Structure 1
Amino acid sequence: MTFTPDMASELTLLLKFPNKSLMQGIKIHHDAKPEVVSAAQRLFEKGIVT
């Protein structure tokens, strides 16, 4: 399976989540890079993050 740049951005974002607890998360700040914001939006639309 070949990863697209969008998939790589989504995976990179998912790897930033803490792995110690399912009750923790990350914040996307207003000045985040556009590719990070887009990755977060796609993951939200897929139902992977809230």
Structure 2
Amino acid sequence: MYCHVDMKGPKHVVTWTFEYEKLSPDVPDPDALLDFYKRLTKDIETKHL
């Protein structure tokens, strides 16, 4: 997993990158993990404002 922050003028853009491999096609996509990282990023943003 990688986290990268870019400064775009007064704004910061956070990019989370992670790789995964499904054990089988029946395994669902990691949507819960994506939601977690969205909430984490928003919580960090709230703390820094």
Structure of higher RCO (CA pairs closer than 8 Å, 6+ residues apart): 1
Same fold (TM > 0.5): no
The alignment's TM-score, normalised by the length of structure 1, stands at: 0.34
More helix by share: 1
Bigger strand share: 2
